[in-house]
């Protein structure tokens, strides 16, 4: 199932890697949206708001774990590109040790801070209890979230994106079926949505472990690779932590915007929560291109094919720009009908959601470009560049812009939606600067080669 990304047509290899990855992300996001969709069919705005708020907290946690797991994927990709199977085995063993500790730590912290997190998000009073039920149940699924994303990172580092796609497809079927039973037939509301999600996550982990044990990934493992190796752990965290922190800051900005929206009432909270779900779904393509560019560039960097890595970045940017334009046009033509699919009986939520969606959709044309740059920087061990441009964007534009929009235009959500694309535009400018800095001289290229 491995895929050699160092030769052949770049676009063909990109799509062979990206399509299964994108399909897996699509299915994962789809069954996440199913919680909101099915909750809206059987419950009112309070439960919809509770599910959207609780799922945003869990999405925050998930993207932080996924970001950290990028260290695993990139280290394995480099080793595969350089034909270093022992290096890949060490990366796998080190990742298992690191993320086992992380899973336990995160579970404990979230149990202690669940109520505080919902209060900080200014959860509407009528939605607080169901949001708390949703969040506490999902917290017990943190070890499964961590395990699934690390195992998937291992497969993808070896060039296999098809296996994770199959795991999540089967889990999605279970999740949607359980949603209808627990939310619709049993009437558990937000708690039922959470229970269905955790059950599906557990199933996907068991399936992934069974596949890894039964047929392997082309890398032989033994007990010696599961012993602590300071150098391996340092490299995994050195790549993964800046990406994780970057994703964390991005999600914090989303949560701050959610808190601003929640303070304006349950209808605005539900509208913003639904659109955030839609946007996270639409951003699956840029997210898939980020992972594709990082894996392809890492394999080519490990093999010493730096020009091919640069062409991979250019190809990813083109794909994201075209996709973003198509999404933007669709959003201008059909914003309200799309939002109404989630809350057909809430016309005020639909009206506000349509406003927010139309301006937020501009970001689809811009964000994919800095996503691809972030993947490229990570492949070369410069994930700190991604962290820096995202933090600057968040601190100077995204959060202040959202707050200012709510103060100056409280009667509409059009202005609130424009903060994200303005922040992404600044990120693109900074990414171009960092890219030029990365390749300013032949001496720098030699330094990069030694660091791989």
Under the banding of pLDDT at 50, 70 and 90, the label for residue 431 is very high
Among 186, 181, 185, 193, which residue's Cα sits nearest to residue 52?
A: 193
Residue appearing with tokens 């993947």: 375
Q: How big, in percent rounded to 5, are the helix, strand and coil portions of the chain?
A: 85, 0, 15
User: How high is the pLDDT of residue 329?
Assistant: 93
pLDDT digits (tens, 9 = 90+) for 193-230: 888 888 888 888 888 878 777 766 666 666 676 777 77
Task: Give residue 2's pLDDT band: very low, low, confident or very high (50, 70, 90).
Answer: low
Weakest-pLDDT range from 16-25, 260-269, 272-281, 419-428: 260-269
pLDDT over threshold 90, residue 62:
no
Rounded Cα distance between 291 and 314, Å, is 14
What is the C-alpha to C-alpha distance for residues 282 and 333, in angstroms, rounded to an integer?
A: 16
Neighbours of 423 (CB within 10 A): 28
Q: Write the pLDDT tens digit of every residue in 168-197.
A: 788 888 888 888 888 878 878 788 888 888
6: which 2 tokens? 């160092």
Q: Evaluate whether 205 touches 198 at the Cβ level (below 8 Å).
A: no
What is the C-alpha separation between 83 and 21, in angstroms, rounded?
Answer: 23
> What pLDDT does 443 receive?
45
Give the number of other Cβ atoms within 10 Å of residue 441's Cβ: 8
Average pLDDT over residues 52-75: 78
CB neighbour list of residue 293: distance below 8 Å, 6 or more residues apart: 312, 313, 316, 372, 375, 376, 379
Summarised one tens digit per residue, pLDDT across range 304-356 is 788 888 899 999 999 999 999 999 999 889 888 888 887 777 777 888 888 88
CB 275 within 8 A of CB 357: yes
Most confident of 47-56, 60-69, 316-325: 316-325
Helices (H), 44-83: 45-81
Mean pLDDT (whole number) for 20-36: 73
Q: Quick one: what percent of the chain has pLDDT higher than 70?
A: 91
Report the C-alpha gap between 304 and 294 in whole angstroms: 15
pLDDT digits (tens, 9 = 90+) for 387-410: 888 889 888 988 888 888 877 877
Exposed, middle or buried: residue 174 (CB in 10 Å: 0-12, 13-18, 19+)? Answer: middle
User: Is residue 9 helix, strand or coil?
Assistant: coil
Which of the four pLDDT bands, split at 50, 70 and 90, describes residue 134?
Answer: confident
Instruction: Share the mean pLDDT of the chain.
Output: 80
């Amino acid at each position: 199932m491995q895929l050699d990304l160092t030769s052949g047509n770049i676009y063909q290899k990109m799509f062979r890697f990206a399509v299964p990855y994108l399909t897996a992300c699509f299915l994962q996001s789809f069954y996440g949206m199913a919680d909101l969709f099915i909750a809206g069919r059987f419950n009112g705005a309070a439960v919809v708001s509770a599910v959207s708020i609780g799922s945003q907290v869990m999405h925050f946690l998930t993207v932080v774990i996924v970001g950290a797991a990028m260290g695993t994927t990139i280290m394995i990709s480099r080793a595969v590109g350089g034909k270093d199977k022992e290096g890949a085995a060490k990366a796998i063993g080190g990742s298992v040790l690191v993320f086992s500790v992380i899973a336990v730590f995160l579970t404990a912290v979230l149990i202690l801070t669940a109520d505080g997190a919902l209060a900080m998000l200014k959860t509407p009073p009528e939605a607080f209890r169901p949001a708390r039920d949703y969040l506490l149940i999902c917290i017990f699924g943190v070890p499964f979230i961590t395990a699934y994303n690390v195992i998937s990172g291992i497969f993808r580092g070896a060039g296999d994106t098809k296996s994770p796609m199959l795991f999540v497809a089967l889990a999605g079927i279970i999740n949607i079926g359980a949603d209808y039973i627990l939310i619709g037939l049993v009437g558990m509301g937000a708690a039922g949505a959470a229970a269905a999600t955790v059950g599906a996550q557990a199933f996907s982990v068991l399936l992934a472990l069974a596949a890894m044990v039964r047929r392997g990934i082309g890398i032989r493992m033994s007990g010696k690779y599961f012993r602590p190796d300071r150098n391996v752990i340092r490299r995994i965290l050195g790549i993964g932590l800046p990406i994780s922190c970057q994703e964390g800051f991005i999600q914090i900005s989303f949560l701050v915007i959610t808190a601003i929206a929640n303070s304006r009432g349950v209808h605005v909270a539900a509208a913003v929560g639904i659109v955030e779900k839609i946007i996270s779904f639409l951003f699956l393509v840029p997210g898939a291109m980020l992972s594709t560019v990082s894996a392809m560039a890492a394999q080519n960097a490990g093999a010493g094919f730096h020009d091919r890595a640069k062409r991979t970045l250019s190809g990813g940017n083109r794909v994201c720009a075209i996709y973003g334009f198509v999404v933007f046009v669709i959003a201008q033509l059909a914003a309200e009908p799309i939002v109404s699919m989630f809350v057909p009986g809430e016309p005020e939520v639909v009206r506000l959601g349509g406003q927010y969606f139309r301006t937020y959709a501009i970001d689809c044309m811009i964000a994919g470009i800095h996503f691809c740059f972030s993947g490229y920087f990570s492949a070369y061990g410069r994930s700190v560049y991604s962290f820096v441009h995202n933090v600057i964007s968040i601190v100077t534009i995204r959060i202040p812009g959202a707050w200012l929009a709510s103060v100056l235009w409280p009667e509409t959500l059009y202005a609130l939606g424009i903060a994200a694309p303005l922040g992404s535009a600044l990120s693109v400018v900074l990414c171009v600067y960092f890219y030029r800095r990365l390749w300013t001289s032949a001496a720098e290229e030699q330094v990069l080669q030694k660091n791989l």
